[in-house]
Structure formats: structure tokens, C-alpha cells
Chain A
């Protein structure tokens, strides 16, 4: 058989399967662990920290529904019973920096929320103050 198919298949196989390895080596970030996040203020998050880590996006979307659809503007924490004002900015009262907290983790996991096209965050306030 001619060798063209062999070359083609090898290129595709190595290109697709080993691409992540070469890419990460080239960027010099191979094996990067979860980045250090900024220490938040306060002694607990809105809900249990482990739960927040996995479910904060659902919480935020739920908050949005609460405000926009039902007009509810306070949220009572299930875990701690504390009342919180529903706003995207509530998070930043304790997590004082978006870049050093939210973004670090989001960049690492490849998530790009579009919330801050419209909503305000500490760095933006800082810039226009």
C-alpha cells in the first residue's frame, strides 16, 4: 500500500492526541495546579464552601431569577441562616478582588462568564473612582 494513508493517519493521531502535551510544554505551564486564590474576608461563604465551589454559578443564576422574575431581594442562607442582599456585588464584599479570585479559577478551568459585560466589579469601581 502506498505510504500516504500511513502518514496522514499518524499526523492526525499525533496531532490530536498529543497536541495537549506539546501545547502545554510550549506554554511552559504543564502540570499547573489550582492557582492560589486570594483569602476572602469574613469567616464563611454564603453557603458551605465546598458547596459554593461546585454550585456558585447556579446560586447566582437563581439570584437573578429571584430578583428579575419574583422581585425578591434578600436571600437567607440555607447553611448559616444569615440574610444576604441579592446582588452580584455581594460576592465582592468578601472576595474583594475579581482578578485574584474569580478570574484566576475561571481562567484555569476555561470558563468565561459574561456577567461583567454589564455588572460592576471592584477593579472597575477602582478605575472610575
Chain B
């Protein structure tokens, strides 16, 4: 186990962590330099216009005008999946729009559960364990159940709700791609890889909690060793934990190259991060050909005869006022 332990427990996590950090930062900077030729905020509300056009408070965030309204819309997108809530499907015979909220529900469940599970994992990385981690853990595990003997001994002390909702939501997201005709025809291998990797991580994690218990204290020791860059020479931990760690490492290393980067990409979406103030603020296209203008004196000089003729006819000839 010892050579394998070093490779899976130390070498691979470091390599994966390195790829993750460098990859994510590279892509963030790459995206931040991309050109935005047009102002293309997608909107679903009345935009700010003439004063007597009614604009509800919801319109302000669905069709933001100022920067802070845009920021609120972004937060609603990130935390509530606002645009997915408006997901609509057209049914052909009746030509009606049916709203489909299942995807919204399970996607939201998945992401929130994942966030809470990640915060719970802070207990391995933070020393001393801060209160907010304990509070979240206690709330999450308020179902204090002990299930006795089945045909084997289940290791249940608390049921951690988010762990199970995470699994259920992931299974639904996979089901959707596998068994719904439209979604199936849209799915690419990369869609499945991310889901299956996440499933592997979740399943090994749940197995550790409920079926095959591992020594949590030693896991934390390894995590602290990795974090402090003084990893143990040959960690000798339970094979199930090693498998969990291996899947997490693969996921981390895959992250920057995958669609999982949508977590950062959402902030860079021009349709989401621009205020809808086209009519008030000019958006300069960086691709514009640099046009050399003509100023009033040159213009007057060039059309001197026409201008003078106009003046003699009694018209006022003067430069356009600066706005």
C-alpha cells in the first residue's frame, strides 16, 4: 500500500491541485480579455425608458439599468437560477408554452447541496474547526437516527441531508440526459463525464459515511499534511478513502478543461453581466475601424461656396453644438 499510498495520497492530489489552480486562473484571465463587440444583455422585463412606462421592481432586476441592479441580477442567477426558473417548453399540437421547473428544482438542489457539503468538508482543512462549520453540520444532521442491524451493520449516527439530496439530484440530472429524447440528443460525452465523475465522488463519500467507516482523524491528518506542504511520507489509509481522494483529484484536474468552468463563466457572460442601458450609454465596439473625423473648419473650407450661398439665403450656418 505504501508506494500506492504515496502516489494516490500525495503526488496525485498535488498535481491535480496545481492543474486546477493554474488552469482556472488561466481561463479566468483568458475570458476577461475577450472582446465584447456589442451590448447584448438578455432581458425579460420592461427596460428603463420613458418615465410614464410602468416598470415594476422585478423589471428592474430582469432588465437592469444600473450596475448594482446588474449585480443583483447576477446574484439571483447564481443563487436562485433565475433564468432557469423561466425555462419554458413549447408543446406542439396545442402550441402552448409549458413551464418546466423540474430542471430548475434539481439543479438548484444539486448546487446548494454541493455548497453545503463542501463547507462541511472544511472540518478537515480548518484547524481549529470554526463554529459555522459545526453549526452547518448540526443543522444538516439534525436527523439523528440510528438504524440497527440489517443483514449488515449500517453505520448511521446522523443522516446528513445534503449528502442524500446531492445524490438524488445528480441521479436526476443523469436520468434527464439518458432518458429524455431531446436532452439525450443534445448530450455530449463531456456532459456525461462530469456527471459520472461527480457521482463517483458522491457515492464513495456516502459509502464512507454510512456503510464502511474510515478513521476520520487520520483523514484530517492527511488533509492537514497536504495543506501545510509537509505531507506524510506514505499515508496508509482505508482504500475507500483513497478511492474518494482519487476521484476528487481527477475531478479537480479535469475541472479547468470542462464545462464545470461554467461556475466562473457565468460571471463573464455578456448576456448576464451588462446593464441594459443601450439608449443612455454608448457601447464602444473595440473592433471599430478608427475613423478619422472631419472638424467644422475643414468641413466649411471644403463646401465653402455652398455654405456661403446658404448664408446669403438667410440660413444660420454654425457648427453642431457639442452634446
Contacts and interface: CB of A to CB of B under 8 A. Distances in A.
Interface string A26-48: 01011111100000000000000
Most chain B beta carbons < 10 A, residue from A21, A55, A111: A111
A30 B224 CA distance: 7
Contacts of A55: 155, 213
Interface in B202-218: 213-218
Given A1-B33, A30-B127, A58-B153, A108 B148 contact: no
Nearest to B232: A33
Given A8-B267, A30-B224, A53 B215 contact: yes
Contacts of B268: 1, 5, 9
Contacts of B138: 112
Nearest to A33: B221
B34 A5 contact: no
Given A9-B267, A13-B28, A61-B146, A31 B128 contact: no
B41 interface: no
Nearest to A31: B228
Given A31-B224, A31-B225, A53-B215, A6 B126 contact: no
Contact of B126 (A9, A23, A112): A23
A34 B220 contact: yes
B134 A57 contact: no
Interface in B107-127: 122-127
Contact of B125 (A13, A24, A58, A107): A24
Given A55-B213, A58-B146, A110 B155 contact: no
Interface residues of B, number: 49
A3 interface: yes
Interface in B128-176: 128-130, 133-134, 137-138, 146, 148, 153, 155-157
A112 B33 CA distance: 47
Contacts of B224: 24, 30-33
B125 A105 contact: no
Given A65-B148, A107-B128, A1 B36 contact: yes
The A contact surface, by secondary structure, is helix
B147 to A, nearest CB: 9
A29 B123 CA distance: 13
A20 B36 contact: no
Nearest to A20: B125
Interface residues on A, range: 35 or more
B227 interface: yes
Interface string A52-84: 011101100110110000000000000000000
B134 A110 contact: yes
B129 A107 contact: yes
B241 to A, nearest CB: 11
A40 to B, nearest CB: 16
B24 interface: yes
Given A29-B127, A58-B155, 4 more contacts: A4-B273, A24-B224, A29-B128, A55-B155
18 contacts: A1-B36, A9-B28, A9-B264, A9-B268, A10-B25, A21-B227, A27-B127, A30-B127, A31-B224, A31-B230, A53-B217, A55-B213, A58-B146, A109-B123, A109-B217, A110-B126, A110-B137, A112-B138
Interface of A: 1, 3-6, 8-10, 13, 17, 19-21, 23-24, 27, 29-34, 53-55, 57-58, 61-62, 64-65, 105, 107-112
Interface of B: 21, 24-25, 28-29, 31-36, 67, 122-130, 133-134, 137-138, 146, 148, 153, 155-157, 213-218, 220-221, 224-225, 227-228, 230, 264, 267-268, 270, 273
